């Protein structure tokens, strides 16, 4: 079994098996993403070289760079990483539960649901604490997940049918989001618009602090539940046969997925296709084991949003295109390619 690293500690009663391929892929990909993050931090109206960025991060750079970086650039980069990572994780979990490569929170309308309640929260409860925003988004996401469950999952409908229902829900939530935007007071309109396509324009340290706890906690939970997600891939009967508490595990995983989606949407809006793309990239790189897919999917998601945001910020300078438009431009053709590959399932 040279393909794996075995980690055993009698003192801490821990034993893990880590796939070599997954480990090094994760490390490599993480390094690339960090490199991109550093370069991206340097890009903008005031160009800062990567070396200068590193110096600023270490506290030894010039004061002007440090100022720009810490107040403007860094929060946005961190948000991109966290939002992308959350979407990546959510997508990986959903594909494991639904067992269909076309499933993702945005295609199934869960992202849309989160958008509706998020935008409603912003426009209706203007004075409420912003820390409640992820909870509002979470509520919407849960609602849609519940509808999906009632209409599709419970009846034992195939996953294609589930995707159809999701498409309808997505259209419905899109209409509702538009209503809120139209009804919103003028000042909030542009802020509300991010929930149409997703954008991380103007994000601040507050946003980082909003999403960070959700991200860390839910990701930790997902890692703990990784082997439950893994066994689902062999089919329900096998899972039951090896003693998996199927319904409970599916519910837990769904809740984690919905939580991650809600948090990501609350901060970055409905950035489409990331949750679809990232797990696929992960699967191509490290194979089907969920424990390997999860970290790679997180990093892939971060990379996509980071890259997308970089393009969004710089390609049409000085204008700021919503990052959702970029990810859709890449993601939709990919989705179509997936459809082509999956025909007849």
Report 244-273 residues binding other proteins (CB under 8 A).
244-245, 272-273
- Letters for 98-117 (x = contact with other proteins by CB under 8 A, - = none) are ----x----x----------
CA–CA gap between residue 46 and residue 54 (Å, rounded): 16
Q: Which is nearer to other proteins, 129 or 247 (CB)?
A: 247
Other residues' Cβ atoms within 10 Å of the Cβ of residue 54: 14
Residue (24 or 131) nearer to other proteins, CB: 24
From residue 306 to residue 335, what is the string marking binding to other proteins with x (rule CB under 8 A)?
----------x--x-xx-xxx-xx-xxx-x
Could you tell me if 19 and 286 are in contact, meaning their C-beta atoms sit under 8 angstroms apart? yes
Q: Which of 43, 54, 132, 178 binds other proteins (CB under 8 A)?
A: 178
Of 23-31, 35-43, 122-130, 175-183, the segment contacting other proteins by CB under 8 A is 175-183
Residues in 191-210 that interact with other proteins by CB under 8 A: 193, 196-197
Contact 112, 170 (CB under 8 A): yes
Q: Toward other proteins, which CB reaches closer, 29 or 78?
A: 29
Using rule CB under 8 A, residue 237 touches other proteins? yes
The Cα–Cα gap between 302 and 310 comes to: 12
> Scanning the structure block, which residue is given the tokens 């997936």?
338
C-alpha angle with apex 30: 56 to 278, nearest 5 degrees?
125
Q: What is the DSSP letter of 249?
A: H
Residues 126-155 that bind other proteins (CB under 8 A): 147, 151-152, 155
270 three-class SS: coil
Instruction: Please say which residue, 34 or 314, places its beta carbon nearer to other proteins.
Output: 314
Closer residue to other proteins (CB): 131 or 341: 341
Residue 3 CB-density burial (10 A; 0-12 exposed, 13-18 middle, 19+ buried): exposed
214 makes contact with other proteins (CB under 8 A)? no
By CB under 8 A, what part of segment 151-170 binds other proteins?
151-152, 155, 157, 160-161, 163-165, 167-170
State yes or no: cis peptide before 318, omega within 30 of 0. yes
State how far the Cα of 330 lies from the Cα of 250, in Å rounded to an integer: 30
Between CA 323 and CA 345 the distance in angstroms is 32
Residue 254 CB, shortest distance to other proteins, in Å, is 18
One of 27, 32, 124, 238 touching other proteins (CB under 8 A): 238
């Amino acid at each position: 079994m040279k393909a794996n690293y075995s980690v055993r500690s009698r003192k801490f009663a821990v034993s893990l098996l880590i796939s070599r391929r997954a480990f090094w892929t994760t490390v490599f990909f993480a390094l690339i993403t960090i490199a991109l993050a550093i370069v991206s931090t340097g890009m903008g109206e005031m160009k800062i070289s990567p070396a200068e960025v590193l110096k600023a991060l270490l506290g030894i750079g010039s004061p002007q760079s440090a100022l720009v970086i810490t107040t403007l650039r860094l929060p946005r980069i961190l948000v991109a990483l966290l939002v992308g990572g959350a979407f990546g994780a959510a997508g990986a979990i959903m594909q494991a539960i639904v067992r269909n490569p076309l499933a993702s929170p945005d295609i199934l309308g869960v992202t849309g649901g989160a958008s509706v309640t998020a935008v409603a929260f912003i426009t209706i409860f203007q004075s409420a604490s912003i820390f409640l925003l992820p909870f509002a988004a979470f509520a919407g996401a849960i609602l849609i997940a519940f509808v999906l469950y009632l209409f599709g999952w419970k009846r034992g409908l195939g996953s294609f049918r589930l995707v159809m229902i999701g498409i309808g829900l997505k259209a419905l939530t899109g209409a509702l989001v538009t209503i809120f935007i139209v009804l919103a007071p003028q000042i909030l309109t542009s802020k509300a618009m991010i929930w149409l396509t997703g954008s991380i324009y103007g994000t601040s340290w507050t946003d980082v602090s909003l999403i960070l706890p959700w991200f860390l906690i839910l990701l930790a939970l997902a890692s703990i539940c990784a082997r439950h997600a893994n066994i689902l891939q062999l089919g329900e009967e096998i899972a039951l046969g090896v003693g998996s508490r199927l319904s409970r595990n599916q519910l837990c995983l769904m809740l984690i997925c919905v939580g991650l989606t809600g948090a990501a949407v609350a901060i970055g809006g409905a950035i489409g296709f990331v949750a679809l793309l990232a797990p696929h990239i992960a699967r191509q790189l490290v194979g089907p084991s969920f424990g390997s897919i999860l970290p790679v999917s997180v990093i892939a998601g971060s990379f996509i949003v980071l890259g997308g945001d970089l393009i969004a910020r710089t390609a049409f300078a000085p204008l700021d295109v919503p990052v959702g438009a970029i990810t859709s431009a890449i993601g939709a053709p990919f989705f179509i390619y997936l459809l082509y590959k999956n025909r007849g399932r």
